[in-house]
Amino acid sequence: MTGLDTPVLHQWSLAPLCGFTHPLLTINGETVLYTWFAIGLLLISALLFRLVLKTHGRARFMALAVVSSLMDTTKQTLGAFSFNHFSFISTLFVFIALANTLAIIPWLDEPTNDINTTLALGLIAFMYTQHTSIKTIGIKKYIKGYFSPVFIMLPLNIIGKLSSVISLSFRLFGNIAGGGIIATMYFDKLVRSNVYTELLCMGAFSMIIAILFCIYKRSPLTTVLNCILFSLFFTPNMLITLFFGIFEGFLQAFVFTTLSLTYLATALQGDSH
């Protein structure tokens, strides 16, 4: 699927160190590469974001709208705005969104298609939440909460805590992996025979619409761009690609960060046990 079958990209097993084999003890070289690629895109996006904020156009307005939306979501969920929590949640959302949509770039795949990646993200959210809970209520009250209402509830309280990691990581992995399987089956079985014909027909149709609406009011360059946009959004195959490649990726990133924000709000209220 990825097309990067090179000797450098392979799997390393930690079984010799642990004494037993398990998929979670396998390091996938391609997943590591895609993760670093997503981190690189995150850094580039941050630099571009800073440049956009210095302009006075639509891009700046859209960037500020996204930031404002994340700030409002953080404030409404936590009850008060905190820059530290906002930074953590925003970084988590942007990284997961980029990781989920990485497959739209040819020869790349989503790192969140690997259970090890989603489990690591779940552990990061879990550790941040527990650290916040300890800072809020204190270490003594935090430990005491594991034994409430009676000491025999310790195993159940521990399982309840760890269930948040499983909920976050397995939900993200299942949705991304499932979407990837469906998209692969669709393109392998249905699209290969008629995609070029469909693109040609819909492209011609979109060009007629673009010319009728834009050629007398816009420049030729704008008309060409409108033709391309019509071709993308009027082609069913492209709609499916955009759904599984972009919309679903951002949706799952939003669900993951919203749940993490909910766990964080519970920790700040001191009622996590």
129-151 per-position pLDDT tens digit = 999 999 888 898 888 888 887 78
User: Does position 24 have pLDDT exceeding 50, yes or no?
Assistant: yes
- The predicted-structure confidence for 110-134, as pLDDT tens digits, reads as follows 899 888 899 999 999 999 999 999 9
Higher pLDDT residue, 257 or 248?
257
Around Cβ 178, how many Cβ atoms within 10 Å?
Answer: 13
Residue 56 CB-density burial (10 A; 0-12 exposed, 13-18 middle, 19+ buried): exposed
Q: Which residues contact 196 (CB under 8 A, 6 or more apart)?
A: none
Q: What angle do CA 260, 264, 269 make, to 5 degrees?
A: 150
Alpha helices in the chain (DSSP H): 15-18, 29-53, 58-78, 83-100, 115-137, 139-145, 154-186, 195-214, 220-233, 236-242, 248-269
Name the pLDDT band for 4 (thresholds 50, 70, 90): very low
- Res. 1: pLDDT tops 80: no
Q: Which residue has the higher pLDDT, 13 or 261?
A: 261
Mean pLDDT of the chain: 78
Predicted pLDDT at 176: 86
Secondary structure (3-state) at 107: coil
When mean pLDDT is compared across 24-33, 77-86, 92-101, 252-261, the lowest value belongs to: 24-33
- pLDDT over 80 (residue 23): no
Q: What is the mean pLDDT of residues 53-82?
A: 87
Check if the beta carbon of residue 31 is closer than 8 Å to that of residue 112: no
95 has pLDDT over 90: yes
Q: Cα–Cα distance between 230 and 205 in angstroms, integer?
A: 8
Q: Place 200 in a pLDDT band, splitting at 50, 70 and 90.
A: low
pTM of the model as a whole = 0.76
